[in-house]
Structures are given as C-alpha cells and as structure tokens.
Amino acid sequence: MQRTYVAKNEQLGKDWDRSWYLINAEGKRLGRVASEIAILLQGKHKPVYTPHVDTGDYVVVINAEKVALTGNKWDQKLYRHHSGYIGGLKETPYRRLIVKRPTLPLREAVRRMLPKTTLGRQMLRKLKLYAGPVHPHNAQNPQEFPL
C-alpha cells in the first residue's frame, strides 16, 4: 500500500528549503506571467505540494512595468476600488495606473489567482516586484526562471 505524503508546517525548514526565482517580465503577457508566479508562490511545482501548507518559493520580478497587454486593453482594462461611501466607486484605466503605480497590475493579477485566505496573503508576501531591472535580492542568489 502506498502512503500519501502530507507536508506539515513544522517541516518547512527541514525537508525542503525555499528557493528564490528571478523572473524578467519585460514583453511577457500579463496573465501568463501572473499564472506562473502564482504556481511558484503556492508550491504547485514541487512534489511536496500540500494545499493547506505554504510550500511555495520566493519570486522576484523585475521590469514589472514593461509587461505586455494585447488588443485595446491599455484603454479598456479598468481597475476598480471603492471608498466605502455611497457613490464611491473609482475606476482607473490601465494606461493611467501604470504611470502612478507600475507594479500594481501584476500584483493584483497574482493576488487574484491565489487563495482568498490568510494562507494566500502569506504567499503574496513572498512576491517581490520591481518596476525596473534593479533589485536588492542579489544576496539570496535567485535563479533565473524561464517563461
């Protein structure tokens, strides 16, 4: 009889170590990059993946502002947030949002692909986004992840 392996929080540092991956998002499609990042953050690429345990790795993304969109999404894709007051729905097109907060569209795309629980928020903390090609994580020696 085969037994199923179930990861536990106590084993996080013992059985496997968290790796650091570097992703260059320049010229890549927004959704495709976000789905690959979500898989790495959740640990679905590892054989020890367990849904209720954070087995994922750290992901450093550079050139997040140069992610590509297809079609007319530069003007038609809207990001919405609500102030909490009546009539407080605010809509911002992608073209204006990328000028003010260049890493927000990629962070939101990844966040929406992760579980909507405290575990998902814990996974999102392992995502490091940078608008340009420079990042401060050279000491962790991140591996280049091919997309």
Cβ atoms 141, 20 nearer than 8 A: yes
- pTM score above 0.85: yes
Domain ranges of the chain: 18-69+102-144
What number is the average pLDDT over the span 127-147? 96
72 CB-side CA count, 13 A? 2
The fold of the 18-69+102-144 domain, in CATH, is Ribosomal Protein L13p; Chain: A; (3.90.1180)
H-assigned helices in the chain: 30-42, 73-76, 94-100, 104-111, 118-124
H-assigned helices in 24-117: 30-42, 73-76, 94-100, 104-111
What's residue 12's pLDDT?
63
> For the segment 78-109, what is each residue's pLDDT rounded down to a tens digit?
999 999 999 999 999 999 999 999 999 999 99
Q: Is the pLDDT at 111 greater than 80, yes or no?
A: yes
